[in-house]
Every structure is written in structure tokens, then in C-alpha cells.
Amino acid sequence: MSTSTSTTASVSTHILDTSAGRPAAGVAVHLAARAGRDARWQALGGSVTDAEGRCRDLPAPPEGTSHVRLDFAVEPYLEPYREQKSDDGRAVFFPEVAVTFAVRAGEHYHVPLLLNPFGYSVYRGS
């Protein structure tokens, strides 16, 4: 987990597979930031969820960041659910999940992703 200072925010996340009732390990997560809603996104790097479904080493957003985006590459993780096909024959309905949220300097943002083959939910955690 990144640490925050008075001039930056910090971000952490974890993924829980609600169908299996366990953490989602091995999911790539990328972090991007921008300074203002009209600014361009800056890719900052990423991580992969560990056995507990957590990304412990996401990069810290730069000073002046107002918005953060977490991109979760969930399709490879959801491949084992192929036998649960949707009505149109697709095995993975959401191949990726992008979550964008506003941040303030000096605050920590923990954004868990609750995932299953045909839906997801996010919230600001603690």
C-alpha cells in the first residue's frame, strides 16, 4: 500500500470473487491519474493481486492529482467460469473493469472490487 503525504493521495484495492467466496488472485490492476477533469490521463503503473486479492504496491498518484482510474484486467481470471455462458454465448461478460473516482491530497482511498462472472460492484472502503 502506498503512503500519502499532505500533497498526494494514496490508493489501494483488493478483489473478492463473490461467486467463489474467496479473494481473486493474479488479476492485473493498472493505475492512472489526472489533474483536473479535462486533463489527460497519465498511466502510473500497476500491480497484480496477491493470494489475498490485494495490490500492495500500487504507485502513488503525483501531486495535483484530482482523479484516479483503476483498470482491472479481469478476463483471464474469469476464464474458468466458461461453462457459465451468458445468453449470447459469451463466457466473460465484463472482460475489464474501469473505476474512476475523485481524490483529495492527504487522503487514502481503498476501493474494493466485488466480482463475479456477470457483474461487479465497487465502493469506497476503509
Beta strands in the chain (DSSP E): 10-17, 22-23, 28-34, 42-48, 54-55, 67-73, 97-102, 108-110, 113-116, 119-122
The CATH number of domain 10-122, selected from 2.30.31.70, 3.40.50.620, 2.60.40.180, 3.40.50.300? 2.60.40.180
Domain spans of the chain, in order of start: 10-122
- Note the maximum CA span of the chain: 50
Strand pairing category for 97-102 and 67-73: antiparallel
Q: What is the pLDDT of residues 45-77, one digit of tens each?
A: 999 999 999 998 999 999 999 999 999 999 999
| d(C-alpha 92, C-alpha 80), whole Å | 10
The pTM (predicted TM-score) of the whole model is 0.88
Report the pLDDT value the prediction gives residue 110, as an integer from 0 to 100.
Answer: 97
Residue 1, pLDDT above cutoff 70: no
pLDDT of 24 > 60? The answer is: yes
